[in-house]
Structure 1
Amino acid sequence: MSSIMTNTSALTALQSLNATNKSLEATQSRISTGYRVADASDNAAYWSIATTMRSDNQALSTVSDALGLGASKVDTAYTGMNKAIDTVNAIKVKLVAANGASAADKEKIDIEIKALQGQMKSYADSATFSGANWLSVDTTTGHTAAGTFDDVKIVSSFNRNAAGTVSLGTIDIKVQDIKLYDAFATATGLNDGILDATRLGTTGARQAAASAAVAGTDAATDTYTVSTLSVKGFSDAQITKQLGVVEAALKEMTTAATNLGASKTRIDGQKTFTSSLMDSIDRGVGQLVDADMNKESTRLQALQVQQQLGIQALSIANSSTQTILSLFRG
C-alpha cells in the first residue's frame, strides 16, 4: 500500500541512520579521549574499578616519595655513622700508642684524642636531612618516654584488602639503638647515646650511674665515656680499660651501621616494588578502559560509509512519495 500520510520506508531509513550516527558519535568520542570507558554510563563496573585503582595509584605515588625521603634520611645517618666509626678507630689507635708512653707523650696524645672527639661530635651533629638527625638527638621531650627515642616509621606500602579496607605498611627504624649522643640531661648510661654512655672500665658494659675515674688511681668501679675519655695522667691499666670501653662502643656502632644498611636495602627494594606495582596497575586499568585505536579507526571508516548509505537510503525513501503524483496526471 502506498500512503502519503505514513512513509514506512523513510521511517525505517531514519531509524537506521540515527543508530549509525549514535555509534559514530561513540566511536569518535573513544578516538578523541583514548578511552573505551570514559564515564560511568559507558560501563559502570569497569569505570568504578578503574576509578578506585587510579586513586590507589596516586596513593602509591606518595608512598614512593615517602620511601625516597626515608632512604635519604637512612643514607645520611649511615654516612655519619661510618665517619664516626672511623674516628673511634682513630681514638683506639691513640689509646694503644698511649699505653706505655711517657707522661709528656700522653699529654700530646690526649690533645689528639680531644680533637678526634670534637670531630666525632661534629659528624653526628651534621648528619641531618630534612630536619631529621638520628645520631645526635635530644629525647627530653616529644617522645613517649623521656630518654628513649621513639621508633621512626617510614611509610612503605598502601594496602587494600578484599573488603575494601585500606591500611599503610611501615618500615621502622630503631633510632634508640643507633643514636650516638643524647642531650637528655638526666639520662643514664643505659639509654644515653653510644658515645656518651657511661661504661664500666672492666667490661665496657653500660652503667646506670657513673663512677668517675681518678687519674693515676685504678679502681674496679671506674667508668669511662668514649666522648670524654682522657689519657692525660692516667695509668696504663686505666688506659687498657679505656681500650675495652672503646671496643664495646665500636661493637655497638658496627651493629648500628649494619641495621642502617639493612634498612636502606629494604627501603630500596620496596621502592622498586612500588614502582613496578604502579606500572602493573596502570596496565590493568588500561586493559579495562583504554580504547583499541586500530579497532576504532576501522570502525570509524565503516560507520562513515554506513552513514553515507543511510543518508542515501533516506533520500530514496523520501523521493518515493513523488511517484504517487504520476498516478494523478492526465
Structure 2
Amino acid sequence: MSSILTNNSSMVALETLRNINRNLETVQNEIATGKKVSTAKDNAAIWAVSTVMSTDVASFKAITDSLNLGSSTVGTARSAAEKVTETLQDIKTLIVQAQGENVDRAKYQTDIAEKISLIEGYVSAAQFNGLNLINGSSTADVNVLASLDRSSSGSVSTSYISVARKDLSVSNTGSAATFGATAVTNTSILNNGGTAAGTAASVGAAATQTISVASVADGNSYRLTLSDTATNNTMGQRSFEYVASASDSAESVAASLANQISTFFAATGETNYSVVRSGDEIQITNNSAAALSVTAVTATGGTAGVSAGGLGNLNTIDVTTSAGATAALTTIETLLNTAIDAAAAFGSSQNRITGQSEFVQTLIDSMTTGIGSLTDTDMEAASAKLQALQVQQQLGVQALSIANQAPQTLLSLFR
C-alpha cells in the first residue's frame, strides 16, 4: 500500500543518513583532536585510566626537577669536598717538609695557614640555592624527592633519597663534654683487663694491657689515666677521656681514646709506651723496663661535647716545633680521611640520584606511550573510515532523494 501521509522508505533513508552523519562527525573529531578518547563520553573507563596516568606523568616530571635540583646540590658539595681534599694533601706535603731539622718551619706554618683559609672559603661557598651540605650548620639528612608510588588499591605515597650532611667546617668553637657524676666502679662500662674501674692496674715491663669498651650509652663517661710517676720514667701522669653520645658505638669510643693517647705520644716523642686499637679494644704496651700504672674511671649521666667542626683540628696544627710537626702528621691523616670519606659519600649519593633521574625519565616515556596507545587516534584507519563514510553520506543523500520522490508517482493514478 502506498500513502501520501507515511513514506516508510524516506524514514529508513533518513535514519540511515543520520547514523552516517553521526559516525562521520565522530571520525572528523578524532582526526581534528588526534584522540579517539578525549572526553569521558567517548569511553568512560579508558578516559578514567588515561587521566590518572596523565596526572602521574605530570607528577613524575615535577619529580625530575626535584632530582635535578638534588643532584646539583650534592654535586656542589662533592666538588667542594674534593677541593678540600686536594688542599689537605697540599697541607700534608708542607707538614712532611717541615719534619726536617734545618728548615724554616715558620714559613711552612704561614703556608699552612693560607691553605686553611682556602679550605674555609671552599666550605663557605659550597651552597646551591642556599643549601650547604658541608658547613656543619645542621646534622639532619637532606631528603630528595625520588619517586611517586601508586599501589594496586590506588593509594599514593612518595619515596625519598636521603643524603647525609658532612661537616668539613674549620670552626674551632664548640662545647666541652661534661663527665658523668655517677661513678661506676666495676667493669660494666670499661674493662681494664679485668681490673675494676677506679683501681690502678700495673703493667709490667714489655707487657700489654688490653682495655675493652664493655658498654655504650648516651652520657656514659670513659677516662684512662696513664702514670709512671712512681718509677720516675719520662711521661708523668696523663688522663684521656671521652663522653659518649647516642650515636656512639664501642668501636668509636675506643677509637677516640686510642687516638688521644697516640696523638699525645707523638707530640711528646714518647717511645716508652705505644697504643693500638682493635675493634672495641685498646692495647697499651709498656716498652720500658719499669711498670706503668693504668687506671680506668667510668661514670654515667655525662653530656657529650659539641664538635668544633669536622676539620676543626686544623687550627691545632703547629709545625714551628719538632714535636708539633710530628703531631701534625697524625692530625692531618685523620682530617684527610674525613674529607675523603665526605667526597666519596657525596659521589655515591649523586650517582644514585642520577640513576633515579634516568629511571624516572624512562618511566615517563613508557607511561606516555601507554596513554597514547589507549587514547590516540589511528590516523591511517581514521582516514580510510572518513572516505568510506563520505561515500556512504553521498549515497544516503541520493537514497533519501529517491525515497522523497516516491509520492510523486501517485499523481499518475489520477490523470
Q: Does 1:3 align with 2:19?
A: no
Pair 201,10 (structure 1): closer, same or farther in 2 beyond 3 Å: closer
Matches within 5 A, 1:173-188: 173-175=163-165, 178-181=166-169, 185-187=173-175
Partner of residue 276, structure 1: 362
CA deviation string 1:97-146 (max 9, x = no partner):
111334x711111100000000011111111111111111324xxxxxxx
Pair 164,36 (structure 1): closer, same or farther in 2 beyond 3 Å: same
Out of 125, 147, 154, the position equivalent to 1:157 is: 147
Partner of residue 403, structure 2: 317
CA deviation string 1:203-244 (max 9, x = no partner):
5469xxxx9x9xx96799xx994331342543x233222211
Pair 187,171 (structure 1): closer, same or farther in 2 beyond 3 Å: farther
**Normalising by structure 1, what TM-score?**
0.84
Partner of residue 49, structure 1: 49
Note the residue ranges of structure 1 that are not aligned, 5 or more in a row.
140-148, 192-199
Matches within 5 A, 1:164-243: 164-175=154-165, 178-181=166-169, 185-187=173-175, 204=259, 225-234=312-321, 236-243=322-329
Partner of residue 300, structure 1: 386
The one-letter code of the counterpart of 2:169 is Y
Where 2:148 maps in the other structure, the secondary structure is strand
Q: Which has the larger radius of gyration?
A: 2
Q: State the distance in 2 between where 1:155 and 1:135 align.
A: 20
Question: Are 1:201 and 1:241, in contact at CA under 8 Å, matched by a contact in 2?
Answer: no
Note the residue ranges of structure 2 that are not aligned, 5 or more in a row.
178-243, 246-254, 274-307
Across the two proteins, how many residue pairs are aligned to each other?
Answer: 299
Q: State the distance in 1 between where 2:46 and 2:172 align.
A: 57
Pair 37,182 (structure 1): closer, same or farther in 2 beyond 3 Å: farther
Question: Are 1:88 and 1:246, in contact at CA under 8 Å, matched by a contact in 2?
Answer: yes
Matches within 5 A, 1:74-85: 74-85=74-85
Partner of residue 336, structure 2: 250
Matches within 5 A, 1:50-69: 50-69=50-69
> Going by fraction, where is strand more abundant, 1 or 2?
2
Q: State the distance in 1 between where 2:84 and 2:32 align.
A: 61
Question: Are 1:225 and 1:245, in contact at CA under 8 Å, matched by a contact in 2?
Answer: no
Partner of residue 261, structure 1: 347
CA RMSD of aligned residues (A): 2.7
Question: Are 1:67 and 1:155, in contact at CA under 8 Å, matched by a contact in 2?
Answer: yes
Pair 323,12 (structure 1): closer, same or farther in 2 beyond 3 Å: same
Matches within 5 A, 1:137-156: 137-139=136-138, 149-156=139-146
Question: Alpha-carbon deviation of 1:201?
Answer: 10
Partner of residue 280, structure 2: none
Q: State the distance in 2 between where 1:107 and 1:238 align.
A: 12
Q: State the distance in 2 between where 1:322 and 1:52 align.
A: 59
Residue identity (%): 36
The one-letter code of the counterpart of 1:227 is L
